[in-house]
Structures are given as structure tokens and as C-alpha cells.
Amino acid sequence: MSRGLKIFLIALGALFIVGFMAYRFFVGNYNTLVNLDETVKSAWSQVQNQYQRRADLIPNLVKTVEGAATFEKETLKGVIEARAKATQPQVNVDNLLNDPQAFQKYQQAQDNLGAALGRLMVVVERYPELKANQNFLDLQTQLEGTENRITVERRRFNETVQGYNTKLRTFPTVMIAGMFGFQQRPYFEAAADAQEVPKVDFSGLKNQQ
């Protein structure tokens, strides 16, 4: 074998190795980003499931509370309107997670619903007949559990987003992210005037039962 041919084969082998390493690098980092992105979407779907569960419980709650003839209509109306706004948007997960403003608007609608439910439960304390209504007590328990699960799933969502966003910003993954259009995902943030997620507080009602 001639010296020139040997050099050519060595160069070809080195080129192949470099190309293979570059391929593994790009594919490995790309697949990691895809997996992390899918984890974020999965975590968000769990948040949405709990939002939907809460929304599904409200019509029965409203029907039960309406049975109290003197119940404050404005408070009840506030819950109904907040539910309508929270369930109105037809959410596309990709559009929502790629648009921080849309994400914030959606979260605000859900927070408003939680706040309206909280006000409703405060008013219920004035109605002994409701606190003795078994259907209401069952709904109370289900709503409390749902609010707790919403808080848990929101926290999990933020944790997955943090992992994804951190990976997205690290070098050299950031170059691949830019090439393939991966974007940072928004976090859930508590309202500026609240230290925690709005929630339905049933403790007062339970202590009086």
C-alpha cells in the first residue's frame, strides 16, 4: 500500500470518527430536549386535568347552593361567571406554552375562579342548612381535594419547566435549541398580591360541623 493511500485512509477514518461524534452530539442533545419538552407538556396536562375536575364540580355545587332561598345571588353569580371565563378558552398546549402572555391570561382566569370559590365558601358559613346538607359536604370534600391537587400539579409543572429551561440555556445545548426552534417555557407564578396559590379554605366549615 502506497504512503499516499495510507494517509488518505487515515484522514478518511479521522473524518468518519469526527462526523460520527458530531452526529451523536447533535442527536443526543436534540433527543434530550424533545424528552424534556414532552415532560413539560405531560406535567401541564396534569394541571389542566385538575382544573377541569374543579370546573366539572361547580355546576352541582351551584345547584346545591341555590337551594338556600336567601343565598347571596351576587356571590353565586361571581362563581358562575368565573367558571365560564376559566373554561372558555380552547387551549392548544403548544400555543399556550410558547406564549407567556397567553399562559398568564389562562392562569389568571383559573386563579379568579379559585378566588370566587373561596368567597363562596366564606358566605356559606352563614347558612347552617347548607353545612348540614350531605351533598354539599361531599362536594366540599371533593373541591378541597381538587384544590390541593392543583397546587401539587402546579409545583410539579414548575419543577419540570425549570429542568427544561436550564438545559435549554446551557452550552452547547443552547446552539441546538436555537437551530431547531426550542423555546423556554413559562412558569406558573403566584399573583403579585398573594403569597400562595388561591385556594378554597374549608377549615372553618369543618370546625363548625
108-151 tens-digit pLDDT:
999 999 999 999 999 888 888 888 899 999 999 999 999 999 99
What does pTM read for this prediction? 0.80
In the predicted model, is pLDDT for residue 208 greater than 70?
A: no
- Of the candidates 146, 156, 167, 204, the one whose C-alpha atom is nearest the C-alpha of residue 28 is 167
Least confident stretch, 5-9, 31-35, 111-115: 5-9
pLDDT tens for 142-201 read: 999 999 999 999 999 999 999 999 999 998 899 889 888 999 999 998 654 443 434 455
Residue 163 is which amino acid? G
pLDDT value of position 26? 85
Q: By three-state DSSP, how is residue 109 classified?
A: helix
Residues 6+ apart with CB under 8 A from 204: 122, 125
- The angle subtended at Cα 72 by Cα 137 and Cα 62, nearest 5°, is 45
Can you give the pLDDT at residue 50?
95
Per-residue model confidence as pLDDT tens digits over 36-78: 999 999 999 999 999 999 999 999 999 998 877 577 888 899 9
pLDDT of residue 22: 75
pLDDT given for residue 202 in this prediction: 45
Cα separation, 42 vs 113, whole angstroms: 23
Check residues 202 and 168 and name the one with the higher pLDDT: 168
- CA angle (103 as vertex; 101, 105 as ends), nearest 5: 70
Compute the average pLDDT of residues 76-91. Answer: 88
Q: How confident is the model at residue 209 (pLDDT cuts 50, 70, 90)?
A: very low
